[in-house]
Amino acid sequence: MRHTFLARTLAGAVIAAALAGYAAASPVPAPSIAAAVADGHRPASDTARDAARKPAEMLAFAGVKPGDQVLEILPGGGYFTRMLSIAVGPNGHVYAAAPDPASKFAEPAAATLAADPTYANVSVIQITAPAMGALPPLDVIWTSQNYHDLHLSAVNTDVLALDKLWLKILKPGGTLLVIDHVALAGSPATATADKLHRIDPAIARQEIESAGFKFDGQSEVLRNGADPHTAIVFDPSIRGKTDQFVFRFRKP
């Protein structure tokens, strides 16, 4: 397994040139990130979304590197999980925090992915305070297109308490990366999450900073000024093309 990871990491140096189409203003992907994006085990349905989701830029902006301990919140179908696994390598680990498999919010893809020997450094945990609180100190917490889900009325999460927990389990200097769909300024968090699956970036930032995180920058590569911000993100007119914010926070 170690040799497989090493081979992919070294291959990234050759493959990096293929990523030249990414935004020039973004950090140049490290070999480990280039290898993660080029991983041949990624499904075609995932790679087809790379032009829109810009994974190399996202991983580079978060500073994901070999050996990192990463917590991914709500991994969904594993789009980023696979790449995080390859990027952190055999000395790193990815903890995929998913809902109870018996619940209506279950994400079974995470368990299937974790059982694949290609991604042997992936473990699935439940997205509960005890499970996350028991993790070893983390380098990165990653949430992509689902911070708004924490505000759903059906979920009823104490978001501030959760943000504080994330701060606690990160190493000093550790990173929280938040990617999500933009809502109109001033939109109420719960009603907007329920109706549109979006969140006002200012609300997300205020909540996270209130928990003690320090804002450390933002990326503009997923912004789309043509998004009117009024349609649910699953609407065919905007799906896969939403205006998204990318915020990076650090633990002091």
Which run of H or of E encompasses 173? Answer: strand 170-181
Nearest to 135 by CA among 93, 85, 190: 93
pLDDT of residue 104: 77
Spatial distance between the Cα atoms of 135 and 220, rounded to a whole number of angstroms:
31
Q: How many CA atoms lie within 13 A of 115 on its CB side?
A: 5
* Low-confidence winner among 20-24, 103-107, 171-175 (lowest mean pLDDT): 20-24
Please say if the pLDDT value at position 126 is more than 60: yes
Please say if the pLDDT value at position 8 is more than 50: no
> What mean pLDDT value characterizes the chain?
90
For the chain, give the percent of residues with pLDDT over 90. 83
Q: Could you report the per-residue pLDDT of 179-229, keeping only the tens digit for each?
A: 999 999 999 999 999 999 999 999 999 999 999 999 999 999 999 999 999
Beta-bridge partners for 99: none
For the chain, give the percent of residues with pLDDT over 70. 88
Nearest to 29 by CA among 67, 68, 72, 58: 58
User: Are 139 and 69 within 8 A, CB to CB?
Assistant: yes
Spatial distance between the Cα atoms of 193 and 39, rounded to a whole number of angstroms:
33
SS3 label, residue 26: coil
Spatial distance between the Cα atoms of 190 and 252, rounded to a whole number of angstroms:
29
Q: Residue 114 to residues 117, 205, 240: CA-CA distances in angstroms?
A: 8, 31, 26
Q: What is the mean pLDDT of residues 153-172?
A: 96
Share of the chain residues as helix, strand and coil, in percent rounded to the nearest 5: 40, 20, 40
Band of the pLDDT at 107, cuts 50, 70, 90?
confident
SS3 label, residue 194: helix
Spatial distance between the Cα atoms of 68 and 63, rounded to a whole number of angstroms:
10
Q: What is the DSSP letter of 137?
A: P
Q: What's the pTM?
A: 0.87
Sign of CA dihedral 120, 121, 122, 123: positive
Beta-bridge partners for 96: 72, 124
Domains delineated in the chain: 2-250 (3.40.50.150)
Band of the pLDDT at 27, cuts 50, 70, 90?
low
Band of the pLDDT at 101, cuts 50, 70, 90?
confident
Please say if the pLDDT value at position 18 is more than 60: no
